[in-house]
Amino acid sequence: MSYELASGLANASAPIAISTATTTKLIANGGNSNPSGAATSIYVTEYEVMASGTGTFQFVAGTTVTNPCDTNQVNLSGAYALTAQARIQAGNGFGPVLVAPAGDDVCATTGSAVGMNGALSYRIK
């Protein structure tokens, strides 16, 4: 097993660019499986989000039937109440700060029509 895989280092990133009150898919698990055939999990190793106005932001996980993460939704974080230019950040890319259940996508739920922008780093394994 490689050091990178064993250590949980991020090997991908995704942008966060949301401007409406909605649930947005950030990372699709896509039915991936590991070498043993088991469903994979998404390990978020770092994230940063900045608000352009007053609103809430929350990471959730779930599977998508009609809308992003609309089935078996679970909270991966609390709801962050942000004001203009307020920022949340966690992690450094070297270990998980959020872990989605096996087979689930990672989404963000926003409570207001204000910009929530940033990025996250992750690994699917």
Question: pLDDT band for position 93 (50/70/90)?
Answer: confident
Tell me which residue range forms the domain holding 52: 3-124
Instruction: Pick 3 or 82 by higher pLDDT.
Output: 82
Domain count within the chain: 1
Question: pLDDT band for position 125 (50/70/90)?
Answer: confident
Query: 111: exposed, middle or buried (C-beta count within 10 Å: 0-12, 13-18, 19+)?
Result: middle
pLDDT tens readout for residues 106-122: 999 999 999 999 999 99
Query: 106: exposed, middle or buried (C-beta count within 10 Å: 0-12, 13-18, 19+)?
Result: buried
To the nearest whole number, what is the mean pLDDT of the chain?
Answer: 90
CATH of the domain at 98: 2.60.120
Query: 1: exposed, middle or buried (C-beta count within 10 Å: 0-12, 13-18, 19+)?
Result: exposed
Question: pLDDT band for position 38 (50/70/90)?
Answer: confident
**How far does CA 114 lie from the centroid of its chain?**
19
3-state secondary structure 33-52: ECCCCCECCEEEEEEEEEEC
Paired residues of 89 in beta bridges? 48
